Amino acid sequence: MEVDMMKKVPVREQAPEVRAKNFEEVCEGYNKEEAMAEATRCLNCKNPQCVQGCPVSIDIPGFVQALKEGNIEDAYQVISLSSALPAVCGRVCPQEKQCEGKCIRGIKGESLSIGKMERFVADWARENNIKPKAAETKKGKKVAVIGSGPSGLTCAGDLAKLGYDVTIYEALHKAGGVLVYGIPEFRLPKEKVVEKEIENIKGLGVDIETDVIVGKSITIDELLNEQGFDAVYIGSGAGLPKFMGIPGENLNGVFSANEYLTRSNLMKAYQEGSKTPIMKSKKVAVVGGGNVAMDAARTALRLGAEVHVVYRRGESELPARAEEVHHAKEEGIQFDLLRNPIEILGDDKGWVNGIKCIKMELGEPDASGRRKPVEVPGSEFVIDVDTVIMALGTSPNPLISSTTKGLDVNPRKCIVADEVGKTSRDAVYAGGDAVTGAATVILAMGAGKTAAKAIDEFLSK
């Protein structure tokens, strides 16, 4: 296979006009030949910048060299040392800001396609039934993990490998957190990828109890004092959706992105014959510019609607992964940038029939260094839509903090934890979105990993 050293080996994708009408995965990924060809572009740097960009410091040149030589299993073992969910991260990490953003190749040409290679290696390992090894000796100690998102799964998996008896308690009826209820099938296949990863973790001996809400069904104190757990890890995420507080937000046809995506992903409302309904919209405005907004917009598009993304800053400020913005545009989603909603309009029956927006321009940089959008007076206009989806971010749910005495939270309702995940309560650790607020899969996973190590040290004392 011929390789242009300055350019990524192109990856196969479903054509935009085809995928806009289905929920199959957009990106088909590399095959072995393509992945190995891409690996030849790596310079095997002495001081690899890419590793610095990866939040869990995967030995990228290490796995890429093994891949180059065709030793896929070795490549998988290298990745596994640092990441428990490579098939997921290879698909959803914001690589352009992390590993690939730092790759030396990116200075003159295109960076290595690290995410796509990682994905190939992980998919290959799964298809060839290569699994993490279960512990041989048990420690005889019990750890409870709250939440089965990437953070909880990783922490549980690592602790099980060390020989602890681990039980995950999950509020929903299905394990996976945002990976099952938030991120759509066309970006992260559920049966093919997520469920298999979860099966692997169960294979390590981790017990997953769904339908248990910690703080309601049982409290952390009861887990520690009555149920015999020696430590607890909180990976409960940041699921509470924000609304704007503008007039008309409770009209029929206004949804949080979480509701819209949960109906479609977790409850399978996108499939024919699903028992859970989802609104059949003709024209949708999605408010926000992050991954959640892109996912909601592209779901609505696939369900047959014309979709506008309304975002108050400009193109370069869109917080979503670059690949998702690119895919969304190819699929025909319209971006109304530098626009901010001020009111949602409804008909006399209380159904949405428009969204009133105002134009914005970028002013002085704010505390975050980003230029602050300010309204252009008198520039109001209306887009006729029948549905508005709010994707403005989420914050941690107070269910756990309000039922656990002595567990400190900050003013943003995030659980306070130190760099290894230790909270203000003895034997209680936390990490992922519950601590940082809405962030990324890889950070949530990294936090679970670090905390597993700290819990092991604590329980080995």
Partner 1 sequence: MFKILEKEWLNVNTFKMVVDAPMVARSCEPGQFVIVRDGEDGERIPLTICDYDREKQTVTIVVQTIGGSTAEMSKKEAGEYLADFVGPLGKPSDLVTDDIEEVKKKKIVFVAGGLGTAPVYCQVKWLHEHGITADVIVGAKTKDIVILEDEMKAVGNLYITTDDGSYGRTGMVTTCLEDLVKKEGKVYDHCVCIGPMIMMKFLSQLTAQLGIHTMVSMNPIMVDGTGMCGACRVNIDGETKFACVDGPEFDATKVDFNEAMRRLGLYKPEEMAAYEKVKAQS
Q: Pick one of ligand FAD, partner 1, ligand SF4, none as the site partner of residue 54 (Cβ within 5 to 8 A by kind).
A: ligand SF4
Q: Which is nearer to partner 1, 17 or 222 (CB)?
A: 222
Compute φ and ψ for 396, nearest 5 degrees: -65, 145
Strand bridging mode 283-287 / 207-209: unpaired
Q: Pick one of ligand FAD, partner 1, ligand SF4, none as the site partner of residue 152 (Cβ within 5 to 8 A by kind).
A: ligand FAD
Q: Pick one of partner 1, ligand SF4, ligand FAD, none as the site partner of residue 263 (Cβ within 5 to 8 A by kind).
A: partner 1
Runs of H (alpha helix) within 257-356: 257-264, 291-302, 322-331
Q: Pick one of ligand SF4, partner 1, ligand FAD, none as the site partner of residue 48 (Cβ within 5 to 8 A by kind).
A: ligand SF4
Amino acid, single-letter form, for residue 390? M
| 216 makes contact with partner 1 (CB under 8 A) | yes
CB 394 within 8 Å of CB 418: no
CB 364 within 8 Å of CB 371: yes
CB 68 within 8 Å of CB 81: no
CB of 216 to ligand FAD, least distance (A): 7
| 304 makes contact with partner 1 (CB under 8 A) | no
**DSSP 8-state code for residue 416:** P
Using CB under 8 A, pick the residue from 173, 368, 411, 419 that binds partner 1.
173
Q: Which stretch binds ligand SF4 (CB under 6 A): 82-90, 182-190, 318-326, 348-356?
A: 82-90
Q: Six-digit token pair at 265?
A: 């992903």
Q: Which is nearer to ligand FAD, 204 or 444 (CB)?
A: 444
Burial degree of 275 (CB within 10 A; 0-12, 13-18, 19+):
exposed
How many CB atoms are closer than 10 A to CB 44?
11
Using CB under 8 A, pick the residue from 239, 373, 432, 446 that binds partner 1.
239
Q: Which is nearer to ligand FAD, 284 or 441 (CB)?
A: 441
Q: How many CA atoms lie within 13 A of 409 on its CB side?
A: 20
Q: What share of the chain is helix, strand, coil (3-state, %, to 5)?
A: 35, 20, 45
CB of 89 to ligand FAD, least distance (A): 7
Q: Which is nearer to ligand FAD, 303 or 442 (CB)?
A: 442
The footprint of ligand SF4 (CB under 6 A) covers 42-45, 48-50, 54, 56, 58, 60-61, 64, 83, 89-90, 93, 95, 98-99, 103-105, 112, 114-115, 118, 442
